[in-house]
Structure 1
Amino acid sequence: MGNGPSKTLPTSNVQNPINLAGQNSLSLLGTPFAPIFPPFLKNNPLPNGFPWGSLTSQNANPYQQMPDTGVTRSYAWTLTKQTAAPDGVDVPLILVNGQYPGPVIEANWGDWIEVTVSNNMTTQPAAIHWHGLLQKQTPWMDGVPGVDQCPIASGSAFTYRFRADLYGTSWYHSHVESQWASGGFGPMVIHGPDEQTAYDVDVGPVMANEYYHEWWEDVLAGFLAKDPVVTRSDNNLINGKNSYLGNNAPLASFNFTSGKTMRLRFINPSASAVEKISIDGHTMTVIANDFVPLKPYDTTVVTLAPGQRTDVLVKGAGDPKSAVWLRAFKPPNCSLSKANSTLALAAIFYEGADRTAAPTSQAQPDAYDTYCGNDPLSKTVPMYPIAPGDPSVTEVLPIQLLSNGTADIWYEAGRTMVVDYNDPILLDVKQGQLSFDPIRNVHDYGTNKSLRFVFENPGQQPHPIHLHGHNMFILQEGACTAAQVGSSGNDQSGAIHKSSRHRRDAVVEPRNLWPDWLWPFVPGGSSGGSGSSSSNGSGSGSGKSSTPATTKGHCWDGSIVNPQNPQRRDVQMLLPGHYIVVQWNQDNPGVWPLHCHIAWHASAGFVWMVLENPAAIQKDMSIPNVVAQTCPNWDKWTAVDVVPQIGSGIKN
């Protein structure tokens, strides 16, 4: 999974006349019947003419200020497992109210959102995560089974209630194993201030994702077999639509108006694929990454790792009779794909175009670029400046893929993770339990004000790193090679210190557990060096660890891009052979997964559980009884129906 150039460009086999999705589609997104999105929902109180009053993206810190609209947006969903054919091939899918992708959640910044989820799948558990929302007032509504709640049992329902505490574009998805690779996801549009980026038409969500014809459990079981069976994705979709190997299945379409500026909300809900999105003959102006408004900049291609979102503005400069392609390309070097499966097309029609004919436009020169990383950090500058400051704790996490005797699983700093669906961690902490089995991989950071993590990836696979409950400062990224280790400005003595692990409520150096296979990359290390034992993960100070002489790790030179206002987002791509440095403020007590957003990796243990301020959880948190009630419902169902937990039990 390197980043070399593609030798063969994808080609289109779309027929003419074009077959476009209509009202009989599994989702109206990407059809002429798609909802029209206003600048904001107007059934709110409107102080100063807006639901958010005088707050703007430039004068309000979104992590400390939020409008109180007093409005609740209510939704009722039914999850079913059904045979469906988004690309013309019958497969089993998880549908939300019969839709793939699921219905749009739409709200204003500061609204409450209430979603009642009824699980009508006869053999599948359910839990829904609201990706990117902070859940500051409601950490028990984050939707991670075994962490915040027990799964929603078949035949049961659960009502999530949480604030739209950030604004912009995001999505929701199943958080049961890798379940969402087979559906159970959809977009979220949270309207908020965007006064610095005026536009005329909000086209709405454009979801681009790779697509499997095999059921998610079969794919995951293959990856986790003792002799792994690697399943490559079969197709690429835009808003749940594309043809397959020339079968002329319906495509998505969008409307542009000449002379107008359109807003498009790009979302990548892929299980593993990087998506490169472009519009033939058009420049896009980036205005937000994830839930963070940015100082605008221009590009001709948007790169999204799994879980990421980017909002763009596009000027309708085309002839009123023209039509062009919107392209979503998944570079085969960034994810495992079958031949002829890398390109999804959607037609963009200007107001006078012939909607029966396929566009004949040509791809942008960089439409099929195969670089798997995000745009340079120097380009992605938040509108509201926040300086990260110095961290209270720094952790260095080298990543490795090793066999545990039955499967190849992921380790961070020598640790892997499996949750217990019957015993949610947050509910345990509320009852005073702070010591957990090492396999739960829970790390107590106490009342430390801020945490910094240096991820080091000497392997050959990319990892989009995602944190729940926070936006991360993205401080730096770069190559992590043996040559750099010797000249990076880190400790040159080669000393590797072994010391008792400190409590996490003190300022500590990182637990850097370099396993044997990484020792050639460690200053002064050699193959065959001694690995370190892992701690118990509870913050008790009872474990031993291997600690380097600096807190920079073995690749990072300590530099920070735009140190007074670095990029913030909730997912950042970590490339093969690279490192990234992230930091966040501990201002949200809870249990927050920090993990790879590739479904198959998270299900194979790539999750680090951040326990934040357990004293506040025990003293101040009032968890509703309905959250705990998910557990007896789950116990009752699983006493009769055995539900296999293939991997870690949690995904993105």
Structure 2
Amino acid sequence: MLLLGLYLFFIVSLALASPLQKRACQNGPTSRNCWGSFSIDDDEHTIWPNTGVTREYTFTISETTEAPDGVSRPVMLVNGQYPGPTIEANWGDFVKVTVKNELRTNGTGIHWHGVRQLNSVYADGTAAVTECPIAPGRSHSYTWQATQHGTGWYHSHYSLQYSDGVVGAIVVNGPRTANYDTDLGPVILTDWYHKTAFKIATQALQNSLGLPPIQPNALINGKNVYHGKGSWSTFNFTPGKKHLLRLINTGSEVTFRFSIDDHELQVIAMDWVPIKPYTTKSITIAVGQRYDVIVDTKGKKSQDYWMRAVPQTSCLSLNLNALNVKAIVRYNAASTSDPKTLPKTLLDACVDEDPKNLVPYHVHDVGSAEVNENADSNLLDDPEKGFALRWFVGADPYYPHKNDPSAKKVMAGQSLPDEMSPMDIGHLGVNKWVYVIVQSWLPIAHPMHLHGHDTYILRQGASVYVDGLPINTKNPPRRDTVQLPASGHVVIAFKTDNPGTWLLHCHIAFHLHHGFARTVIEQQKLISGVYGSGRRAEMNHQCDAWSRSGLESRD
């Protein structure tokens, strides 16, 4: 009887236990916190599965014409589709992507946005920083481990290519901080031009305020309507179920406010970071950012609803179709009607979500700074380039040396020239904290992205930063892309735990193209060891092919 009583006590205790306390359970609609012998309680910053699985993809980058909103224009595509194929993996898998360049007069390369690349800086895919561009007719393979789980994206990091179509989503399946029934996959938001980004880039350069060009339209999952042409993307909801949507802003300049008429969003992750869930009616998402949200259909009418992505004009970015960036949510997949729902009145704001809501699930506190770096941004005449307007970050604008990337220079023992805008913290040891203060001196917001790290957001403010202002070091929001407020500042921190040369830059494509970046040199003595002799020889071979292409001077 005693043994029977103990057995019954164990069964009842297990049944009453919190789902987050259970281990070795299978991920499902009522146990999204589980992941086999792992769970959401395992901090992906320090531990991850080693599955032994490699997910392999081949990407061919080519030129063609496409009409995603009914207006035909030249594009550059991945495997002939827009957006490009979604990379899908499980937490702990390796991902191997072979990129073939079939462009006629452009190099290329793929960056895996927000992927930590822990001890794999060689796979970061950043032209002029970690590699030379892939020359026309050549190919290159990238391999990295999915140590994070959630939602990311990939894009070309060669000039303005991603604005012309070289983008796609990354989905890494893993445990979650809330339950849902169905994963509906990526919801890709982007502004859209009817001319190539290369043709319109000079408009931003010549504008005395540094404002990017006016966009005619924007797309959701590669579709929208423009002047009666084109079509809307469709998402099929199941009544009474909870649906996961993976929101990604792959745009060139626009901050969107996302919503679904008459629905709420439960936010469970920002970028690659799981957070404590919170509920909102809409969410702002800057260029490069991602949010994973759950939409509950319980109690909703079985009808068609509008999904909306409204460009925020307060970011001084003008979209001519701003009120009509839409997709359709259907509760009956057989329906062909246009929704009749109306939008709520929502605030137009060029800010990140309230940091009080963006609470990381895994608690990380930030230590004292070993180094403080300032990175003031301003738009100034560059006398060395015929007095063209360039974005200065600190003392110099960033000019990439595509045929002699930063990593190659550093491994050869060379110093980076001023025009590569170095932030040299290579002398610091392992696991030292670095604080970076970025100040915008113009009324323009900038989505700031640091490669190779999640940044800890210690402070954001719409004012000039002065010493002594309070900062939050107790489990602050952390993510790979943060909005620098217009005429304001952001204080970010990161730990020197990932040797490499990493780019810190504004993710407005035209701002980066015109100099808004710094090159971070981290743990300089360890970089050669990370590349190893084989990958270093491969980089040299790729650089030789690029030099022979004769395309170095091409934007």
Length-normalised TM-score, structure 2 = 0.90
Please point out which of 307, 310, 313 is paired with 2:291: 310
Please point out which of 443, 448, 452 is paired with 2:423: 443
Greater Cα shift, 441-450 or 581-590: 441-450
Secondary structure in 2 matching 1:176: coil
Q: Does 1:594 align with 2:504?
A: yes
Alignment deviations for residues 257-302 of structure 1 (CA, whole Å, 9 cap, x no partner): 1111100000000000001100000010100000000000011111
Is the CA contact (8 Å cut-off) linking 2:122 and 2:531 kept in structure 1?
no
- Corresponding position of 1:388: 366
Is the CA contact (8 Å cut-off) linking 1:245 and 1:340 kept in structure 2?
no
Q: Does 1:334 align with 2:315?
A: yes
Q: Does 1:603 align with 2:510?
A: no
Please point out which of 616, 630, 637 is paired with 2:549: 637
Distance 1:620 1:162, change over 3 A: closer
Q: Distance in 1 between matches of 2:300 and 2:294?
A: 18
Deviation at 1:392, TM superposition (A): 0.6
- Corresponding position of 2:471: 560
Q: Distance in 1 between matches of 2:238 and 2:457?
A: 37
Alignment deviations for residues 302-347 of structure 1 (CA, whole Å, 9 cap, x no partner): 1111000000011013546311010011022324324334531111
Is the CA contact (8 Å cut-off) linking 2:410 and 2:416 kept in structure 1?
no
Is the CA contact (8 Å cut-off) linking 2:312 and 2:348 kept in structure 1?
yes
Secondary structure in 2 matching 1:415: coil
- Corresponding position of 2:406: 425
Q: Distance in 2 between matches of 1:474 and 1:94?
A: 35
Secondary structure in 1 matching 2:199: helix
- Corresponding position of 1:549: none
Larger strand proportion of the pair: 2
Secondary structure in 2 matching 1:409: strand
Q: Does 1:231 align with 2:141?
A: no
- Corresponding position of 2:190: 209
Deviation at 1:48, TM superposition (A): 5.6
Q: Distance in 1 between matches of 2:128 and 2:523?
A: 19
Please point out which of 97, 100, 103 is paired with 2:85: 103
Please point out which of 336, 358, 370 is paired with 1:356: 336
Distance 1:293 1:226, change over 3 A: closer
Is the CA contact (8 Å cut-off) linking 2:377 and 2:393 kept in structure 1?
yes
- Corresponding position of 2:375: 397
- Corresponding position of 1:533: none
Q: Distance in 2 between matches of 1:226 and 1:323?
A: 42
Q: Distance in 1 between matches of 2:180 and 2:316?
A: 34
Greater Cα shift, 444-453 or 116-125: 444-453
Higher relative contact order (CA 8 A, sep 6+): 1
Secondary structure in 1 matching 2:43: coil
Length-normalised TM-score, structure 1 = 0.77
Q: Distance in 1 between matches of 2:61 and 2:531?
A: 30
Greater Cα shift, 265-274 or 441-450: 441-450
Q: Distance in 1 between matches of 2:275 and 2:70?
A: 39
Q: Distance in 2 between matches of 1:618 and 1:141?
A: 14
Please point out which of 445, 456, 473 is paired with 1:462: 445
AA of the residue aligned to 2:370: S
Q: Distance in 1 between matches of 2:545 and 2:554?
A: 17
Deviation at 1:619, TM superposition (A): 4.7
Please point out which of 170, 173, 178 is paired with 1:191: 173
Secondary structure in 2 matching 1:408: strand
Tell me the percent identity.
36
AA of the residue aligned to 1:370: D
Alignment deviations for residues 150-203 of structure 1 (CA, whole Å, 9 cap, x no partner): 101111111111111211001000101122111100000011111x31100001
Distance 1:589 1:66, change over 3 A: same
Q: Does 1:612 align with 2:508?
A: no
Secondary structure in 1 matching 2:313: coil
Structure 2, unaligned stretches of length 5 or more? 1-22, 28-33
Q: Distance in 1 between matches of 2:189 and 2:321?
A: 16
Is the CA contact (8 Å cut-off) linking 1:222 and 1:230 kept in structure 2?
yes
Distance 1:230 1:292, change over 3 A: closer
Q: Does 1:573 align with 2:483?
A: yes
- Corresponding position of 1:408: 389
Q: Distance in 1 between matches of 2:50 and 2:145?
A: 10
Secondary structure in 2 matching 1:224: helix
Q: Distance in 1 between matches of 2:43 and 2:337?
A: 48
- Corresponding position of 1:295: 276
Q: Does 1:377 align with 2:355?
A: yes
Secondary structure in 2 matching 1:480: coil
- Corresponding position of 1:20: none
Deviation at 1:226, TM superposition (A): 8.6
- Corresponding position of 1:137: 119
- Corresponding position of 1:452: 435
- Corresponding position of 2:5: none
Q: Does 1:170 align with 2:152?
A: yes
- Corresponding position of 1:148: 130
Q: Distance in 2 between matches of 1:54 and 1:614?
A: 37
Give the total of aligned pairs: 518
Alignment deviations for residues 407-464 of structure 1 (CA, whole Å, 9 cap, x no partner): 211112222211111111112222332x121111122212241110111112111101
Q: Distance in 2 between matches of 1:272 and 1:475?
A: 24
AA of the residue aligned to 2:471: I
Distance 1:567 1:319, change over 3 A: closer
Distance 1:229 1:264, change over 3 A: closer
- Corresponding position of 1:122: 104
Is the CA contact (8 Å cut-off) linking 1:394 and 1:452 kept in structure 2?
yes
Secondary structure in 1 matching 2:325: strand
Distance 1:475 1:363, change over 3 A: same
- Corresponding position of 2:456: 473
Q: Distance in 2 between matches of 1:472 and 1:230?
A: 26
Alignment deviations for residues 577-620 of structure 1 (CA, whole Å, 9 cap, x no partner): 21111001110000010111100111111111110001112355
- Corresponding position of 2:235: 254
Q: Distance in 2 between matches of 1:347 and 1:64?
A: 40
Q: Distance in 1 between matches of 2:286 and 2:204?
A: 20
Q: Distance in 2 between matches of 1:52 and 1:609?
A: 37
Secondary structure in 1 matching 2:163: helix
Q: Residues 498-513 of structure 1: matches in 2 within 5 Å? A: none
Please point out which of 63, 70, 76 is paired with 2:58: 76
Deviation at 1:254, TM superposition (A): 0.2
Distance 1:229 1:290, change over 3 A: closer
AA of the residue aligned to 2:73: V
Distance 1:633 1:555, change over 3 A: same
Larger helix proportion of the pair: 2
Q: Does 1:347 align with 2:325?
A: no
Distance 1:633 1:318, change over 3 A: farther
- Corresponding position of 2:44: 62
Deviation at 1:362, TM superposition (A): 1.1
Q: Distance in 1 between matches of 2:216 and 2:518?
A: 31
Deviation at 1:53, TM superposition (A): 4.0
Alignment deviations for residues 324-374 of structure 1 (CA, whole Å, 9 cap, x no partner): 0100110223243243345311110013x65211010111232xx210101
Is the CA contact (8 Å cut-off) linking 1:475 and 1:582 kept in structure 2?
yes
Is the CA contact (8 Å cut-off) linking 1:399 and 1:412 kept in structure 2?
yes
Q: Distance in 2 between matches of 1:565 and 1:236?
A: 35
Q: Distance in 1 between matches of 2:44 and 2:207?
A: 46
Secondary structure in 2 matching 1:312: strand
Secondary structure in 1 matching 2:39: coil
